Structure 1
């Protein structure tokens, strides 16, 4: 099985039609159909159900489509890595970042790195911590920017400064307008809106402090927490840096005084794996910025 076979198959799978795929690839339809048949024979499985006007992927075809995307992305990343090696400090740095740190990261770490290495280009993948770690393991990115807690097995880590979680709410939910800092216990029985990523951490910490949290809404994005809190639907719990992700015109912000709920952004990479000079320099830059923040 050659890479061109995977490219041909992926074009067919994406187009849902051999004729359309042939036009996109700028080859004739009969040779493309023949290549598909040869691929099926080589793998010993049927990849598509052929109809009069379109094709439909079999279960084996769906698996191969997903694998083909990963293989081709990894191939492209490897080609870029070799080009980066040949060009020194000119090339493309592939980074994955969680949304809750993206704005701050772009403003601080990446902008500082760009000032030093102006010839470097960036390819950014965004998602939650689990997706970023998955991209890292597949070799699609070289460096991940994730938020604690996460499993550090097989990972090298450089941590940024620790930050507290905050409670965000509209005026009708503010039980003590004069307070800027609150204890975790003050959130007992109040309707909480949380990012699912922190569910276990928040639940365990609340239980440790003697109460079960009243989770009104769980979601998959800190921006959703901000939006729901801004609509007055409950009290959001987010990391302080996530405040930069949305419009908070009506929100009152109170820092939660609880060390167990402090989180940190970290730059992570796979141990015992080749790292490009670009990625190594970025890790160094990230570490230097973190040390400078800790000294302030």
Structure 2
């Protein structure tokens, strides 16, 4: 049993048909069937049951499928690790980021990392937190930069410092120009523009202060929140560091005095997957930022 045979078997197991697996592997069907037969003979057990349309894995086939995935992942990781060692810190680091992390990431972390490791290039994928976690699980990005809250299951994590949420508004919406901070209760009856992921947190906090928030607009991007607020449509609730991400010419902001309405940027990665030297160094840099 070798790596090639394991790749063949995984293709058969995933496709459910030898014909489809052969097409996926870009090889003829007879040699693939022969490799499956040789693998079964070597192990002394049937791995598949052939049906009229699809094959079904036997109990032994299911065990081999799970082990084959682990073996191939370890093989790929070992190859990448050795190549990293040979190349040093050179190559392309793929990072997934949420839009609201942009200002902090560029100002305090990517710039420092670039100064220290000039041979590293970057490939950035943007999306919301759930999209970034999905990209991590698929191996499309190696490090994700997301905002709390999120599910930590299977993820390694390094947090940046906590930051307050702000209420951003035009001067026409500013009910007390002399104050730079506000209490949660002052948001009562204000038309709020919020990032959808923060809705449970904002709603719970407002309810704890005795009122139901008047949510005028929900969206999936901190920049949209600020743009709508900048147009005078309501009061935008966003992380403080996101304020400079969009056109805020007409806006003023006030920090919301609430321990509940705080958020953090975090660097995340998959615990069960190989982490390149580039990614490990970036995470170290992030943690110091």
- Which structure's CA Rg is the greater one? 2
Q: Does 1:159 align with 2:159?
A: yes
Instruction: Give 5+ residue unaligned stretches, structure 1.
Output: 3-34, 46-73, 290-296
Q: Deviations over 1:157-193 (max 9, x none)?
A: 1100110000011122111111110000000111100
CA RMSD of aligned residues (A): 2.6
1:1-296 → structure 2 map (5 Å cutoff): 83-289=83-289
Task: Compute the displacement of 1:83 (Å).
Answer: 4.3
Aligned length: 226
Task: Compute the displacement of 1:246 (Å).
Answer: 0.8
Asked if the contact 1:83/1:91 (under 8 Å) is kept, the reply is: no
Asked if the contact 1:93/1:121 (under 8 Å) is kept, the reply is: yes
User: Corresponding residue for 1:16?
Assistant: none
State the distance in 1 between where 2:172 and 2:102 align: 31
Asked if the contact 2:97/2:127 (under 8 Å) is kept, the reply is: yes
- When residues 81 and 230 of structure 1 are mapped into structure 2, their CA distance, relative to the original with a 3 A threshold, is farther
Q: Which moved more, 1:196-205 or 1:255-264?
A: 196-205
State the distance in 1 between where 2:180 and 2:106 align: 28
Q: Deviations over 1:66-87 (max 9, x none)?
A: xxxxxxxx9xx98977643431
Asked if the contact 1:191/1:215 (under 8 Å) is kept, the reply is: yes
User: Corresponding residue for 1:67?
Assistant: none
| Structure 1 ranges of 4+ moved more than 6 A | 77-82
State the distance in 1 between where 2:82 and 2:186 align: 55
Classify the secondary structure of the residue corresponding to 1:259. coil
Q: TM-score, normalised by structure 2?
A: 0.72
- When residues 142 and 85 of structure 1 are mapped into structure 2, their CA distance, relative to the original with a 3 A threshold, is farther
Task: Compute the displacement of 1:199 (Å).
Answer: 0.9
Task: Compute the displacement of 1:103 (Å).
Answer: 2.9
Q: TM-score, normalised by structure 1?
A: 0.70
State the distance in 2 between where 1:133 and 1:81 align: 23
Task: Compute the displacement of 1:247 (Å).
Answer: 1.3
Q: Deviations over 1:28-81 (max 9, x none)?
A: xxxxxxx79x99x99x79xxxxxxxxxxxxxxxxxxxxxxxxxxxx9xx98977
